[in-house]
Amino acid sequence: MSSTDLPLRYGVNPHQTPARVLRGAGNSSLPFTVLNGAPGYINLLDALNAWQLVKELRGALGLPAAASFKHVSPAGAAVGVPLDDALHRAYAVGKVALSPLATAYARARGGDSVSSFGDMAALSDVVDVPTAQLLRREVSDGVIAPGYEPEALKLLKRKKGGGYLVLQVDPDFQPPLLERREVFGITFEQRRNDRIPGPELLDEIVTEATKLPAAAVRDLLVATLAVKYTQSNSVCLARDGQVIGLGAGQQSRIHCTRLAAAKADLWYLRQHPAVLDLPLRRKLSRAERNNAIDRYLLEELTPAETEAWLRAFTVPPVRLTTDEKRQWLATLRDVALSSDAFFPFRDNIDRASRSGVRYVAQAGGSNRDDEVIDAADEYGMVMAFADLRLFHH
């Protein structure tokens, strides 16, 4: 499908030259073709990890899937569950008539729109025109997919002055069972992580509450597949078929949980009626709009910062009070959480409960499993022990 090697602009940093990617052992060629643009080292790391995620989501749930990747972790991932009116407005979809694939990308991109700035997008299906229309207007570095409708490809080739990276991957490609990497002149070899989590992962329910609705199973699988391709340690919160908060690459699991939950809170606050009705200036770019909303919800600004921030609005907005935020967040419910390893302490469950977590999947195996289960029972959560660690490095 492609050549045996591909020169890159540079490696992880601009001073790391030369750089290239090579075919793997036993492969006659690279499993992707560059249809437009010139890939970089990090672009391809993001693309190849993101492609695996959306391919496995598609296979596990039977729905079109999308991911928005940044620095080898998903900023967002989702399947094509229809948007409600609040999310349609919060994601600023506008007049685009969403296909199921476009809906998946709108969710993946909108779950953490600030982190998705400059993403590498991955789509599980052939890219159609509605999906290309969404991609065209976002600040994005590139996209990987198994194919493109002719008109969709034309739209994408015009993005970034003709420099937008478009990759077509062979959907039937299977990598070798063993994978290698080199660090400090030393070659590491291991069996690649070919375990694809499915509903059977949730069979061992350890809490008093045991009922897992179909939507909860879906969301737990979305969260679990997301952490499989997230730099560890990681904890992921999901709802309505999409990632709503992901804590990646933290040395402490409680920090992962706090980060993921804080992002989920912000995702939900963006749907508050006061936020949806903010008097933002029409000519703001999408990135400026997202940043202004974040600052509205999160930051205490100095007078100089406030003056600059207010330029994003037609009139000064009335900020939500702490009590108003708490009251709104108290209505967030039925959130699913997955962890890439066991919870060592109950503090993770305590923090998750404040962000509407009702369903939990974790490896189990901690010395304090009983304490963690007791905490879940206190909050009426359903917890499954997956007996599966999913570290990703």
Q: Is 70 an annotated catalytic residue?
A: yes
Q: What is the pLDDT of residue 300?
A: 82
Is the Cβ–Cβ distance between 181 and 193 less than 8 Å? Answer: no
Q: Could you give the CA distance from residue 292 to residue 311 in angstroms, rounded to a whole number?
A: 9
Please check whether residues 226 and 359 belong to one and the same domain.
yes
Q: What is the pLDDT of residue 301?
A: 86
Secondary structure class of 181 (helix, strand, coil): strand
Q: Tell me the per-residue pLDDT of 199-250, one tens digit each, with 9 for 90 and over.
A: 999 999 999 999 999 999 999 999 999 999 999 999 999 999 999 999 999 9
Percent of the chain residues past pLDDT 90, beyond the cut: 93
Residue 231 lies inside a defined structural domain of this protein: yes
Q: Do 293 and 334 fall within a single domain?
A: no
pLDDT in tens, 346-356: 999 999 999 99
Helix axes 100-110, 129-137, angle to 10 degrees: 20
Residue 348, CA distances (Å) to 235, 243, 267 in order:
10, 18, 19
Catalytic residue among 36, 233, 290, 348: 233
Active site annotation includes 71: yes
| Catalytic residue selected from 15, 95, 283, 393 | 393
Candidates 27, 71, 88, 160; catalytic one = 71
- 130-163: per-residue pLDDT in tens? 999 999 999 999 999 999 999 999 999 999 999 9
Is residue 29 in a domain?
A: yes
Do 212 and 343 fall within a single domain?
yes
Q: Name beta bridge partners: 5.
A: 22
| Statement to judge: residues 222 and 76 lie in one domain | no
Q: Is the pLDDT of residue 339 over 90?
A: yes
Question: How far apart are alpha carbons 2 and 6 in whole angstroms?
Answer: 9
- Tokens 């899937």 sit on residue: 65
pLDDT in tens, 6-56: 999 999 999 999 999 988 766 678 999 999 999 999 999 999 999 999 999
| Residue 34, pLDDT score | 96
Q: What's the domain range around 106?
A: 5-174
Secondary structure class of 218 (helix, strand, coil): helix
Active-site residue, from 36, 55, 70, 159: 70
- Does residue 148 share a domain with residue 93? yes
- Within-domain flag for 61: yes
| 112 shares a domain with 227 | no
Residues 215 and 295 grouped into a single domain: no
